[in-house]
A and B are shown apart, each in its own frame.
Chain A
Amino acid sequence: MSYQGKKNIPKITSERLLIKGGRIVNDDQSFYADIYMEDGVIKQIGDNLIVPGGVKTIEANGKMVIPGGIDIHTHLQMPFRGTTTADDFTQGTKAALAGGTTMIVDHVIPEPGCSLLEAFDRWSKWADEKACCDYSLHVDITHWNDSVKQEVETLIKEKGVNSFQVYMAFKDLYQMSNTELYEVFTFLGEHGGIAQVHAENGEIIAEEQARMLEMGITGPEGHVLSRPEELEAEAVFRAVTIASQTNCPLYVTRVMSKSAADIISQARKKGNVVFGEPITASLGTDGTHYWSKNWAKAASFVTSPPLSPDPTTPDYLNTLLASGDLSVVGSAHCTFSVAQKAIGKDDFTQIPEGVNGAEERMSIIWDKAVVTGKMDENMFVAVTSTNAAKILNLYPRKGRIAVGSDSDLVIWDTDAVRTITAKTHHSAAEYNVFEGMELRGAPMLVVCQGKIVLEDGNLHATSGTGRFIPCSPFPDFAYKRVKARKQLAILKAVPRGMYDGPVSEFSPMSRGGTPSASTRTSPTKVPVRNLHQSGFTLSGPEEAPIRPAGRRIVVPPGGRSNITSLS
């Protein structure tokens, strides 16, 4: 809080702000009202507000005032083989603020085998030092055992983390087996966490990569050729299946292809609690650039899952976003310099993965979805901010303009036209995957923590002002349904007499030359089956339709009968 010292000079401080004449747009409605903010919190909303003298007043002139964007997926200052991503927390959050995003949620990626808590502490230290806006953290689970389980529990209960990502790709590095996924999901389902997945079939990718290299394809096009969208869709399908079995809410990060998005929307129609996150890049551009003759440009698009080579994909994803089948937009902002990308100049599997998008995120959605009439301004607020806040259990503190909410808000200029280029963007990367794109809609003024950070195109962000916002478990948005289903789904055994007929001799199980991949048993004691769709009932007398005469024998109390009278 760099302004704290100046509090006795009310005329200069930005702690008190009045926005006049704006149209407040929340995810449910839009209305004209003034907003008065003090100490980083919205204090009053209405007409003719009574406010102290000397308050800085901003004339919104009928422009939209929206809750600041929440970028639910970033990788800032991410360590990568001894170096870090091009954008650190300062650079990255500046870019976010410049684009109208006032909160980010970064991924903590512990090295496999290392402590999750230590990694979490490291990340929050970096962010506390450098972030210019509020932040929260996801923790990625890169390996799984009992001590990790303990740490996850600590993170949920004490550290304010409620979302954890697991990987179905990156074989022999981060990838988890189905059994591990099942256990992680079961655990998160019981403790109120959100299971995020990076959904791609890592085993097949490894095979395809080997094949591409064998064929002599070493450039960035090999990246997309070895990761066809079917592999993404397959993994999404598998994740949905496992989440449904374990009754755990699922969040699919980086929805990049039509088929993966279709699976998510089908699962939602079947009643699964699943959220899909398209990213700026998949909504704004496509994978044709992997075939660019400029290696550096092609490499700058390398991300996983890859952008789809089908140029109609962005439009399709925008449509599903508008219809509510996809829930929330992240940027997956993870930038590397060309020199860093060039680590993979002779082998595409070595290219560090990641694209930019934190700054462009809001404008891309406005341009591709709102201007084209796919969604309205309220839906725009929902997918850029409100839904994310609800999933993270930060609502209504974040994601809404209401009395008592944080004063993170944006005056959105619907008429502004900006051209995206690496020359002017705030990221440190030399390439911008949206290069040359003309986008309608841009933030005119950004208020973060009650302070104006962007005005007249000038950014006044201060490193280290960002606060860690803890997320509590069991977000209602995801867990109300999950809890109800838990209560419903109680499995009962059929009461039968003991079988006391003849039993054949058998040789012991020939099972298992290899020890079971997981020697840990599932921690589940509570039945969590999702019976949402299942049509059978277990109670009451079960009348088997076809049965030879005289087969029904009731077990008398205290005794048992031979129930195997075969005719």
Chain B
Amino acid sequence: MSFQAKKSNPRVTSDKLIIKGGKIVNDDQSFYADIYVEDGIIKQIGENLIVPTGVKTVDAYGHIVIPGGIDVNTCLQAPHLGMSPADDFYHGTRAALAGGTTMIIDHVVPEPGSSLLSAFDQWKDTADKRSCCDYSLHIDITRWHDGLFEELESLVKDKGVNSFLIFMAYKDKFQSSDTQIYEMFSAMRELGAIAQVHAENGDIIEEEQKKLLDLGITGPEGHVLSHPEEVETEAVYRAITIAKQANCPLYITKVMSKPAADLIAKARKKGMVIYGEPIAASLGTDGSHYWSKNWAEAAAFVMSPPLNPDTSTPDYLNSLLSCGDLQVTASANCTFTTAQKAVGKDDFTFIPEGTNGIEERMSIVWDKAVATGKMDENDFVAVTSTNAAKIFNLYPRKGRIAVGSDADIVIWNTKETRTFSAKTHNLTVEVNIFEGMECRGFPVLVISQGRIVLEDGTLSVMEGSGRFIPRKAYPDYVYKRIKARSRMADARGVPRGNYDGPVHDVISMTKSVPATPTTRGPSCPGKTPLGPTRNLHQSGFTLSGTQMDDHIPRRTAQKIVAPPGGRSNITSLS
């Protein structure tokens, strides 16, 4: 930490801070108290705190004091067609801090077939040098193959990664088959990790893209037309089905449409361990802009799944977020300059995908959900930081204002408004998809790692001050239920005598051995010792004792118990 050296001079350092007169808002309650911060940690909370002299005092009177936001989905490094995003770890985290977000979790996107560990190291190196706030990393599994289980294991056990993203789209590039998804889910469940999915049916998308290009539709509107919401919904449904079979917790990134959100809500009602992540863009704007006559503006909105052309979608997603059916907000910030987007000027399938949102996320949620009365300030904290911290096992270090937690704190102005514009935002990209939007609620002061980084509208960030925050496997919030279900789910065979009746002769199998390992991809190496993992949460059958069909009339006395040491003919047909 760059400030360590100045510790001897308490008057100048920002290591010691007292926040006075604010209302502390956590996800469970709000109360008035002062906060004393030292060495990047919250040391005391209460009234009339006894603190050393010369401590800098921050006046939070009239504002709320909330845990710094956690943005769980950013792509500040992942290249597209060899082009790096316009906003890297420095610009991205700077913008995050300006918006009240004090931690990000970035996606590591390895080239298909390359080592996950080396990609992880590469990302971590860059982020250590450039990041201005604490960060953590998700790993995207772009191709599942033999030997990857060991890499996952080492990432989970030694590197502090507990979440992996799987793609159901991007055919022939990142896309995984159902078999592979099942194997990956099984592997993740065994390791105590969280399975994230990019849910879109890549097969259908490719067909639709071909069809649209055939029709001569090459502009950004082709992007949304080839990614209809049904295709997103279908993939969400499939992911839920597979996750249920594998008894693996599921996290859907980028929930962009109403039916996809509905499916997640329904699955939760059925008892699934599943989380949905709407993003700043899907909560704040819609897909009508794809038809803009300005190519650059239309292209700026291109992302997958696309923003929904239905203009009532943002309101709907905000409602589901408020009632708890969706849990976490992220930004999926992944910006490209207009020149970069223009790679796809003659073919929408080449437009690099991604929008901004890292800076606007918190304000959009406040304006669309809190100011409108859909949720209260505590829910606001839950969806912007606490839930994310719980799901990814950072809680209570992050996501809560409590003694012992990291001093990532935001003083939030709930009354005044701010207008978003590409002219004033802290990213380098030329177009802001929220251009001109006026939002209530913004941070007046941001403390990251115990240091004030935003005050009076002035950012004073330190490049490279961000630390990598490792995350342990088996987050309680997610895995307590999964563990209980694994214990419950015992599928057992029916003890029967051996069938020794006539057996029809068959010619050689035409079925190509359905039960053996699949042709596509090796079977998951971690699966062999896997105990029974069926989720019997809803299943009502019991196998022991008298059977349900005992009373059903059978033709003759057919129940013959196999005597020990011998077997009986159990096929006495009348």
Q: Is the CB of B293 within 8 A of A542?
A: yes
A546 vs B433: C-alpha distance when bound (angstroms): 9
Does chain A have a CB within 8 A of B225?
yes
Contact B543 A296 (CB under 8 A): no
Contact of A503 among B80, B207, B345, B530 (CB under 8 A): B345
Report the separation of the CA atoms of residues A503 and B492 in the bound assembly, to the nearest whole angstrom.
62
* A502 contact set on B, CB distance < 8 A: 338-339, 342
**CB-CB < 8 A to A212: which residues of B?**
491
**Residue contact B499 to A244, C-beta cutoff 8 Å:** no
Q: Are B502 and A347 in contact (CB under 8 A)?
A: no
Contact B512 A172 (CB under 8 A): yes
Query: Which of chain A's residues have a CB closer than 8 A to the CB of B82?
Result: 505-507
A551 interface contact, C-beta 8 A: yes
Cβ B81 vs Cβ A509 within 8 A: yes
Give the chain A neighbours of B532 by CB distance below 8 A.
215
The reply to whether B515 and A347 form a contact with Cβ atoms under 8 Å apart is yes
Is B547's beta carbon under 8 Å from chain A? yes
Q: Given the complex, which residues of B lie within 8 Å of A529, measured CB to CB?
A: 225, 228
Collect the chain B residues with CB atoms within 8 Å of residue A508's CB: 81
Binds A, one of B121-129, B173-181, B189-197: B173-181
A233, B219: Cβ atoms closer than 8 Å: no
Chain B residue nearest in CB terms to A309? B541
Verify B309–A536 contact, CB threshold 8 A: yes
A203 and B548 form a contact (CB under 8 A)? no
Which residues of B, 44-70, contact A by the 8 Å Cβ criterion? none
Residues of A within 8 A of B217 (CB): 491-493
Interface residue? B554 (CB, 8 A): yes
Nearest CB of chain A from residue B233's CB, rounded to whole Å = 7
Contact partners of A289 in chain B: CB under 8 A: 549, 552
Asked if A494 and B338 sit within 8 Å, CB to CB, the answer is no
B220 to chain A, nearest CB (A): 8
> A506 contacts B83, CB within 8 Å?
yes
Chain A residues closer than 8 Å to B509, beta-carbon distance = 81
State the Cβ distance, B276 to closest chain A Cβ, in Å.
17
Q: Answer yes or no: A6 CB below 8 A from chain B CBs.
A: no
A536 to B215, CA, bound (A): 19
User: Which A residues touch B294, using CB under 8 A?
Assistant: 496, 544, 547, 551-553, 563-564
The answer on a CB contact under 8 Å between B179 and A563 is no
The reply on B430 being an interface residue by CB < 8 A is yes
- In the assembled complex, the Cα of A435 lies from the Cα of B556 at a distance in Å of 12
Contact A496 B293 (CB under 8 A): yes
A396 to B349, CA, bound (A): 49
B502–A219 touching, CB < 8 Å: no
Asked if A148 is an interface residue, CB under 8 A from chain B, the answer is no
Q: Which of A83, A492, A498, A544 contacts B506 (CB 8 A)?
A: A83
- Least CB separation from A345: chain B residue: B499
**A551 to B430 alpha-carbon distance, docked (Å):** 14
Dominant SS among interface residues on chain B: loop
Q: How far is the CA of A248 from the CA of B298 in the complex (A)?
A: 31
Distance in angstroms between the alpha carbons of A495 and B292 in the assembled complex: 10
Chain B residues positioned under 8 Å from A221 (CB to CB): 493-494, 543
- Residues in B whose Cβ lies below 8 Å from that of A291: 494, 541, 543, 547-549
Q: Mark B227-253, 1 if CB is under 8 A from A, else 0.
A: 010110110011001101100000000
B289, CB-defined interface residue at 8 Å: yes
Contacts of A503 in B (CB 8 A): 339, 342-343, 345
Per-residue interface assignment for chain B, residues 206 to 227, with 1 indicating a CB less than 8 Å from any chain A CB and 0 otherwise = 1110111011111101100100
The minimal Cβ–Cβ distance linking A119 to chain B, given in whole angstroms, is: 14
Q: How many A-B residue pairs have CB under 8 A?
A: 350
Docked CA distance A516–B210 (Å): 13
Chain A residues numbered 279-334 whose CB sits less than 8 Å from any CB in chain B: 288-289, 291-298, 309-311
Q: Are the CB atoms of A563 and B504 closer together than 8 Å?
A: no
Q: Which residues of B contact A547 (CB under 8 A)?
A: 292, 294, 297, 435-436
Contact flag A245-B231 (CB < 8 Å), given A436-B552, A509-B81, A542-B293: yes
Asked if A557 is at the interface of the complex by the 8 Å CB criterion, the answer is no
> Which residues of chain A are near B207, meaning CB under 8 Å?
179, 182-183, 186, 245, 522
CB-based contact B242/A296 at 8 Å: no
Q: Mark B295-306, 1 if CB is under 8 A from A, else 0.
A: 111100000000
A29 at the interface (CB under 8 A from B): no
A535-565 with Cβ < 8 A to chain B: 535-536, 538, 542, 544-548, 551-554, 563-564
Residue B182 at the chain A interface, CB threshold 8 Å: yes
In angstroms, Cα B363 to Cα A342, docked, is: 66
Q: What separation, in Å, do the CA atoms of A509 and B211 have in the docked complex?
A: 20
B340 at the interface (CB under 8 A from A): yes
For residue A201, which residue of chain B has the nearest CB? B178
Given contacts A210-B515, A491-B215, A512-B172, contact A422 B555 (CB under 8 A): yes
Partner of B494 from the list A111, A219, A311 (CB cut-off 8 Å) is: A219
Q: Which of B20-28, B94-102, B374-382, B516-524 contacts A (4 or more CB under 8 A)?
A: B516-524
Answer whether residue B271 sits at the interface, using C-beta atoms and an 8 A cutoff.
no
Determine the main DSSP class of A at the interface with B: loop
For this complex, into which size category does the number of interface residues on chain A fall? 35 or more
Query: How many angstroms between the C-alpha atoms of A473 and B517 in the bound complex?
Result: 41
B504: chain A residues within 8 A (beta carbon): 83, 337, 339-340, 342-343
Minimal beta-carbon separation of A365 from chain B (angstroms): 21
- Expressed in whole angstroms, the Cα–Cα distance for A291 and B542 within the complex equals 10
Inter-subunit contact B204/A217 (CB<8 Å): no
> Bound state CA distance, A430 and B501, in angstroms?
13
Known: A245-B231, A343-B506, A564-B296. Is A173-B211 also a contact (CB below 8 A)?
A: no
In this complex, the member of B421, B503, B553 whose beta carbon has the largest number of chain A beta carbons within 10 angstroms is: B503
Cβ-defined contact, A179 with B203, below 8 A? yes
Residue A213 is within 8 A (CB to CB) of chain B in the complex = yes
Which residue in A245, A297, A311, A534 is a CB contact (below 8 Å) of B558? A297
Chain B residues with CB under 8 Å of A179's CB are 203, 206-207
Q: Using Cβ atoms and an 8 Å threshold, which residues of chain A touch B296? A: 499, 501, 563-564, 566
Interface status of B2 (Cβ within 8 A of chain A): no
CB distance A230 to B219 under 8 Å?
Answer: no
Q: Please give, as numbers and ranges, the residues of chain B lying within 8 Å of A512 by CB-CB distance.
A: 172-173
Contact indicator B83/A494 (Cβ below 8 Å) = no
- Asked if B319 is at the interface (CB within 8 A of a chain A CB), the reply is no
Name the distance in Å between A48's Cβ and chain B's nearest Cβ. 50
B38 at the interface (CB under 8 A from A): no
Contact with A along B80-91 (1 / 0, CB 8 A): 111100000000
A432: nearest chain-B partner, CB-CB: B555
Shortest A331–chain B CB gap in Å is 21
List of B residues within 8 angstroms of A538 by Cβ: 291
**Chain B CB within 8 A of A225 CB:** yes
A81/B507 contact (C-beta < 8 A), A172-B512, A494-B221 known: yes
**B268-290 to A contact mask, C-beta < 8 Å, 1/0:** 00000000000000000100110
In the complex the two chains form, is B203's CB within 8 Å of A493's CB? no
Report the separation of the CA atoms of residues A492 and B217 in the bound assembly, to the nearest whole angstrom. 7
Given the complex, which residues of A lie within 8 Å of B219, measured CB to CB?
Answer: 493-494, 496
**Shortest Cβ distance from residue B184 to the other chain A in the assembled complex, whole angstroms:** 12
Q: Name the distance in Å between A449's Cβ and chain B's nearest Cβ.
A: 35
By a CB distance below 8 angstroms, the chain B residues around A337 are 504
Can you report 11 residue pairs joining A to B where beta carbons are below 8 Å apart?
A204-B242, A215-B493, A219-B493, A221-B494, A230-B245, A245-B204, A502-B338, A508-B81, A535-B310, A542-B293, A548-B421
Q: Besides A210-B515, A293-B559, A563-B294, 19 other CB < 8 A contacts?
A: A182-B204, A204-B245, A207-B518, A211-B527, A241-B230, A242-B204, A244-B230, A288-B549, A291-B494, A291-B547, A294-B496, A295-B499, A338-B571, A496-B295, A504-B339, A512-B172, A522-B207, A529-B228, A551-B294
In order of increasing CB-CB distance, the 8 nearest A-B pairs are A507-B82, A82-B507, A178-B203, A234-B241, A203-B178, A241-B234, A506-B81, A502-B339
Which residues on A are within 8 Å of B, measured CB to CB?
A: 81-83, 111, 170-173, 177-179, 182-183, 186, 201, 203-204, 206-219, 221-222, 225, 228, 230-231, 233-234, 237-238, 241-242, 244-245, 288-289, 291-298, 309-311, 337-340, 342-343, 345, 347, 349, 421-423, 430, 435-436, 491-499, 501-514, 516-517, 521-522, 524-525, 527, 529, 534-536, 538, 542, 544-548, 551-554, 563-564, 566-567
